[in-house]
Chain A
């Protein structure tokens, strides 16, 4: 009786195969945990870098005979001190402090032993100033000095806050003016001069240069030169004014430093902010990060050009890869005679998806940049040679290179979704007197559209995150202008561009102050992920609409 019972239990477990269900679910759980952890880490680190931390002032223990030393900074890391053999000393902790004031201390970070620290305070009135150069400055404000009037407003007086705000505001206005003059006005003069010079050169090469034309060109160049001088002088004046007003700061370590208001991007009092103040500053920083140009070798400021470049490049790539991949797949699946050749082509396409991306970069450099771009330059832009126009990396070549890289993904997905369209629907269409092309165009493609879009989503996700091939075909650390702007012909596909993926690489490995760039790495990574998610979401929404429209009901 008893034996029978155990046997039955044994059979039950074996026949159901429940163990394997558990195994499979465990695999899924591990995978999900890893994804959640990855996203969580990046989200946390990325968001943290925008959150204003209070600044501590550490009073250090006196060295033998030395004076009392103070140092201000934010604790960024806490670790056990390395090389501490005996556990007898319990003060084996070491803090990494972001002291800011790189111009004074030589570096933005400093390590302190816990044994050195006598006391830690968070004094109110500390100001953190974001500067154009040398990172942030932290100190106690002493006074604002207005250069023109010679007026000095001390930090104790009631007018101080207003005076500082006004001085910084004035400087920001002037900075905007300077930028407008230098980028827009002088830029357009430069463009005009270049085109004049090119015309002159092409006239010269054709030996058609008449005295009249020469004179006309010279006159135009002269007047442009004059305009340029005027603008340049104005910009110089404004730049001079930027240095007039200064903020005097006393650092925690005792030194006094002056900061010209022209160098101040913004300032805040980290120890006097309430929660909502911090929240406001957080969003302010976040928005600036999204819409500003980078500063200081990309380690400060925003990443707007990189976002813009990534979006433009990805959209261009999609536009290039879609028709190409779909047409190829239609031929392979619908028209080509299924046989040895087609099988070979299919295998080749599938293998192409596995080729390392840098190989495509090298191909893009050789084929698109040197061959196609070089030929284009000789045919249409010969007057500017030897300065290349299309014969160098640019957003168009980058997009085409990535399109080539992702075309197998689109082909495979399209082929599969074409194959999934039921035979009955095709026959129904043919029986109505439709030709094969009409059948494909009117019935098969609409039914396959959701699957095709899935392929495009995968291609976009792969293309947007790719870095290695881009480095060969047009991505740069800092692009002077965006690939789309207000200058005729508006879309400058030959221009070099910035890319989020490359930006991360650049920040992480090529920046002069790797430690200071770390928060930016996480923030940029977060943005890259968000961008890919948004692009995908866009495609997914289209796909769902199509699905609803062509819902494959009762096949």
Chain B
């Protein structure tokens, strides 16, 4: 079993300079993906740098969620799917037969469109990934809960009711809890699949601030339908259309001076 090596920089110093960043932390090489006979992703090639926020935008059904879910091999769960090409994280292919998908997912956290807290207490939700990895030491779990909830800007709101059901939280709180859960195990990459689509503007703002603060620690890939959100919190933006990567560049460039006509039409709202 190959372990994907952790980036050295993360262990060495948290607040690193831009120069240390691995510019090819996630490499997607000629990747195509099929649901049965239908091809969802057409030959996508892109590199995402470490500790940056990359936003995937594009109209519904353009394959951006599918691509995101391939980064932690979530799509393996669906019957009759296959892929071509490769995805390389920190120098190792995630499709290497020697990679165990469970340990891969421990390294790549994910936040879903609909908040999906488990029917457990807030505390147990946060430490879930540690528990399934066999970590049951109380001090470690306590420390993780506080750190993760603080990172997710939820600690002050829930610290007095950690052992109450997570299902009693509000929608925005639940989504932040899911983020806390996803980062509890200190993954390297955080995948977010439209994390704000079901939230009100205030909760959305909180999560966006959260994304910006988490950027120093995690490599974040976020799928969003909200153009403003992409401009507010991403460093890089990729525009997908009908399963193809149309344009991938710095966010300012995409939104101010896109090189492709389709991109310009989409971001100005003329279609999609």
Interface residues of A (CB under 8 A from B): 422, 424-425, 427-435, 438, 442-443, 446-447, 549-555
Contact = CB atoms under 8 A, between A and B. Distances in A.
Interface string B157-197: 00000000101100100100010011001000000000000
B116 A442 contact: no
Nearest to A553: B167
Given A551-B167, A552-B167, A433 B106 contact: yes
Nearest to B184: A432
Given A427-B74, A430-B105, A549-B165, A554 B174 contact: yes
Given A430-B105, A431-B74, A432-B128, A424 B185 contact: no
Given A432-B182, A432-B185, A442 B119 contact: no
A435 B106 CA distance: 11
B112 A429 contact: no
Nearest to B133: A433
Contact of A550 (B72, B115, B119, B131): B119
A428 B167 contact: no
Interface residues of B, number: 31
Nearest to A431: B110
B178 A428 contact: yes
Nearest to B109: A431
Interface in B12-63: none
B185 A433 contact: yes
B142 to A, nearest CB: 18
Nearest to A422: B116
Contacts of A447: 118-119
Interface in B96-147: 102-103, 105-106, 109-110, 112, 114-120, 128-129, 131-133
A194 B47 CA distance: 85
Contacts of B1: none
Counting from the closest, the 8 A-B pairs by CB-CB distance are A553-B167, A433-B106, A550-B119, A424-B116, A432-B129, A431-B110, A434-B132, A428-B116
Nearest to B107: A433
A431 B105 contact: yes
Contacts of A554: 115, 167, 171, 174
Nearest to A439: B132
A430 B77 CA distance: 10
B160 to A, nearest CB: 19
Contact of B112 (A424, A446, A553): A424
A422 B112 CA distance: 13
Contact of B102 (A435, A553, A555): A435
Contact of A433 (B102, B117, B118, B171): B102
Contact of B128 (A442, A550, A553, A555): A442
A553 to B, nearest CB: 3
Q: Of residues B105, B106, B116, B119, which shows the largest number of chain A Cβ atoms within 10 Å of its Cβ? A: B119
Given A427-B116, A433-B103, A554-B115, 4 more contacts: A427-B77, A429-B132, A447-B118, A550-B165
8 contacts: A428-B116, A430-B74, A431-B105, A432-B105, A433-B133, A435-B102, A447-B118, A555-B114
A553 B114 CA distance: 13
B181 A432 contact: yes
Contacts of B110: 427-428, 431
A428 B115 CA distance: 9
B132 A549 contact: no
B116 A425 contact: yes
Given A432-B132, A552-B167, A446 B105 contact: no
Contacts of A443: 118-120
A446 B132 contact: no
A315 B132 CA distance: 34
Nearest to B167: A553
A329 B132 CA distance: 23
A424 B112 CA distance: 8
Contacts of B182: 431-432
A434 B114 contact: no
A448 B110 CA distance: 24
Given A442-B132, A553-B167, A554-B167, A428 B105 contact: no
B234 to A, nearest CB: 21
Contacts of A442: 118, 128, 131-132
A549 B131 CA distance: 20
A438 B119 CA distance: 14
A427 B131 CA distance: 17
A552 B103 contact: no
- Of A434, A443, A554, most buried by chain B (CB within 10 Å of CB) is A554
A551 B128 CA distance: 18
Given A432-B181, A552-B119, A553-B168, A438 B132 contact: yes
Contacts of A422: 116
B114 to A, nearest CB: 5
Contacts of B119: 425, 443, 446-447, 549-552
Interface string B74-95: 1001000000000000000000
A477 B70 CA distance: 67
A236 B73 CA distance: 84
Given A424-B112, A428-B112, A433 B132 contact: yes
Nearest to B114: A424
Given A424-B116, A428-B116, A430-B74, A435 B167 contact: no
A428 B165 contact: no
Nearest to A441: B132
B201 to A, nearest CB: 18
Contacts of B114: 424, 555
Contact of B129 (A424, A433, A549, A555): A433
Nearest to B119: A550
A15 B72 CA distance: 52
Q: Counting chain B CB atoms within 10 Å of each CB, which of A433, A442, A550, A554 scores highest?
A: A433
Contacts of B178: 428
**Most chain A beta carbons < 10 A, residue from B72, B120, B182, B185:** B120
Contacts of A429: 118, 128, 132
A216 to B, nearest CB: 57
B112 A427 contact: yes
A88 to B, nearest CB: 78
> In the complex, which of the residues B105, B118, B129, B174 has the most CB atoms of chain A within 10 Å of its own CB atom?
B118
B72 A431 contact: yes
Contact of B118 (A428, A435, A551): A428
A422 B116 CA distance: 9
Contacts of A430: 74, 77, 105
A6 to B, nearest CB: 49
Contacts of B120: 443, 446, 550
Contacts of A446: 119-120
A352 B112 CA distance: 41
A108 B124 CA distance: 69
A428 B109 CA distance: 10
Contact of A434 (B72, B115, B128): B128
B239 to A, nearest CB: 25
Contacts of A549: 119, 165
A432 B126 CA distance: 10
Contacts of A424: 112, 114, 116
